[in-house]
Amino acid sequence: MTLSTSASSNTRTVLGPLADIPPGEGRSYVVGGETIAVFHLRDGSLRAVSAVCPHKGGPLADGQIDNRVVVCPLHLNAWDLATGCSQSGQPPIDVYPVRADGDLIVLGD
């Protein structure tokens, strides 16, 4: 997948079609040297967080999700998808603004 970023102070990275992520699933993308997990929740909303579990490097895009949390597939640690706060005593993960306008778009600084 090709990434494109605008040249303004507020970056805008187009990841590809929203249809690439079925509702209830996540996918990993590399954005600005960081791997992020983008989730298309069953309620239609989108969330983007760090793709790597800080505990043992588990792939969070492969984790179980509901409309509120992602659970790491390796050791069942959980994080709030809106805030990145751990629900299981682990360090927080980064949260990224994401939207869709036909394509998935991650917004940055």
Residue numbers of the domain that contains 60: 18-99
The number of folded domains in the chain is 1
| CATH number for position 25 | 2.102.10.10
User: pLDDT band for position 3 (50/70/90)?
Assistant: very low
Where are the extended beta strands (E) located within the chain?
4-5, 12-17, 25-31, 34-40, 46-50, 64-65, 69-71, 78-80, 95-96, 98-101, 103-107
In a domain, 51, yes or no: yes
Q: Which residues pair with 99 in a beta bridge?
A: 105
pLDDT tens sequence across 8-46: 336 889 999 999 999 999 999 999 899 999 999 999 999
Calculate the CA 74 to chain-centre distance.
17
In a domain, 107, yes or no: no
In a domain, 89, yes or no: yes
In a domain, 12, yes or no: no
pLDDT tens sequence across 54-99: 998 999 999 999 999 999 999 999 999 999 999 999 999 999 999 9
Confidence check: pLDDT of 2 > 80: no
Q: Tokens 């989730």 identify what position? A: 39
In a domain, 61, yes or no: yes
